[in-house]
Amino acid sequence: MDSERILTQLRVDGYDIVGSYQDADVVVVNTCGFIDSAVAESLDTIGEALKENGQVIVTGCLGVHPEVIREQHPNVLAITGPQQYESVVAAVHKHVPIPEINPHLDLIPRSVTETGIKLTPRHYAYLKISEGCNHKCSFCIIPSMRGKLKSRNIADVMQEAQRLAAAGVKELLVIAQDTSAYGVDTKYETGEWLGTEYKTKFEDLCVALGRLGIWARLHYVYPYPHVDKVIHLMAEGKILPYLDIPLQHGSPSVLKRMKRPAAAVNTLERIKKWREICPEITIRSTFIVGFPGETDEEFQELLDFLEEAQLDRVGCFQYSPIEGATSNALENHVPDDVKEARWHKFMQTQQVISTAKLKEKIGTTQKVLVDEILEDVIIARSEADAPEIDGLVKIDPNPDVKVGEFYDVLIDEADEYDLYGKIVT
């Protein structure tokens, strides 16, 4: 996500993103320092970039250990850490001055094929509202790597959102480690945007985003009671009726061992309430199976939770230990074959639910945003589909359709993941 944000900002600043070392004035390497193999891979990548290009800026998690990088690669131009997105952009500015163009007028859409590397297409962008996290989930080392929650002022966030919208972005993906905690660290300080005073607060952010008139999609929200207010905004069509809530498990005892935020609230009740407020809401979540100590009964509780919650989109990971995570010290680690078997059972259970939910959409008309036009099919997404992680709407070819535009599509078919249809307007 940091890469997406850095790239988006650099493109807004007027830089071209190119697909080869030879064509680049400078190379930015975004590193990972979570596990030893990632450190070695990051150092190799820096070495390759230095050999092929010579002008290298390093950012990301490994940037918190500049000595490790400098020991092997003393010639890098700059090293910035994981929260220092502004610093990496500033380092690029220093070594390659901002092109003398008006970025809002001259921003040219560059597709994956044009650049040869994978970028966020110009019509959607990630909007990072805070860094770090105040929680202590036992399987996670983000707080120790990225520090405590640090929210950007709402005026700053909304100016960026407005700039992106002016540059042609049609969908903003709001991200943070815990989006619903936005502003707690600033004591909800105020900021002014378009002549209105807003608090640096989750609800105010959603109200302000609703004024942009483009899609705003919320990721990494926790099921706190104050989220209800935002669901009202979804029902009013101000922001997308879509919530990505990483629930991780459905058993209270496992959630307790995981030390999950909002584990005590009755999540099923919350979900029911959200659906009452906004019946068309899409709820996506991720889960972990095989967490240390997970018994057959606790796993069954998770399956029962899935059956009852009837979530629209679900991802599932098998637990794997990360160096430095406190969950490593828990007893009764689950054997790999049991994890694998539970993962399959989980996926089968959810697949039946997802397939039935998608089938209900046959015969409806869905607003879609077109991502890509291929020879024999148009790839789009509906309000229910976040890029990269959810399904697609596949549309019959139509010569009038353009990438990055909205259309209404009549759905005539569905499978386990995707919808199929024809453009009606």
> Which residues contribute to the site for ligand SF4 (CB under 6 A)?
133, 135-137, 140, 142-143, 177-178, 261
Q: Which CB atom, from 136 or from 344, has the smaller least distance to ligand SF4?
A: 136
CB of 221 to ligand SF4, least distance (A): 11
CA separation for the pair 7, 124 (Å, rounded): 12
* Residue 330 tokens, joined: 């828990």
Q: Exposed, middle or buried, 219 (CB in 10 Å: 0-12/13-18/19+)?
A: buried
CB of 82 to ligand SF4, least distance (A): 12
Cα 231-235-241 angle, rounded to 5 deg: 70
CB of 136 to ligand SF4, least distance (A): 6
CB of 346 to ligand SF4, least distance (A): 19
Q: Which CB atom, from 137 or from 378, has the smaller least distance to ligand SF4?
A: 137
* Cβ-contact 239, 209 below 8 angstroms: yes
Q: Which CB atom, from 143 or from 321, has the smaller least distance to ligand SF4?
A: 143
Question: Shortest CA distance to 372 belongs to which of 105, 19, 114, 3?
Answer: 114
* Cβ-contact 347, 167 below 8 angstroms: no
CB of 270 to ligand SF4, least distance (A): 17
Question: Shortest CA distance to 212 belongs to which of 169, 179, 181?
Answer: 169
CB of 261 to ligand SF4, least distance (A): 6
Q: In this structure, which amino acid lies at residue 380?
A: A
CB of 148 to ligand SF4, least distance (A): 10
Q: Which CB atom, from 21 or from 85, has the smaller least distance to ligand SF4?
A: 85
Q: Which CB atom, from 135 or from 275, has the smaller least distance to ligand SF4?
A: 135
* Cβ-contact 382, 407 below 8 angstroms: no
Q: Which CB atom, from 225 or from 324, has the smaller least distance to ligand SF4?
A: 324
Q: Exposed, middle or buried, 36 (CB in 10 Å: 0-12/13-18/19+)?
A: exposed
Q: Which CB atom, from 70 or from 148, has the smaller least distance to ligand SF4?
A: 148
Q: Which CB atom, from 176 or from 214, has the smaller least distance to ligand SF4?
A: 176
CB of 7 to ligand SF4, least distance (A): 23
Q: Which CB atom, from 60 or from 241, has the smaller least distance to ligand SF4?
A: 60
CB of 200 to ligand SF4, least distance (A): 19
Q: Which CB atom, from 253 or from 326, has the smaller least distance to ligand SF4?
A: 326
CB of 391 to ligand SF4, least distance (A): 25
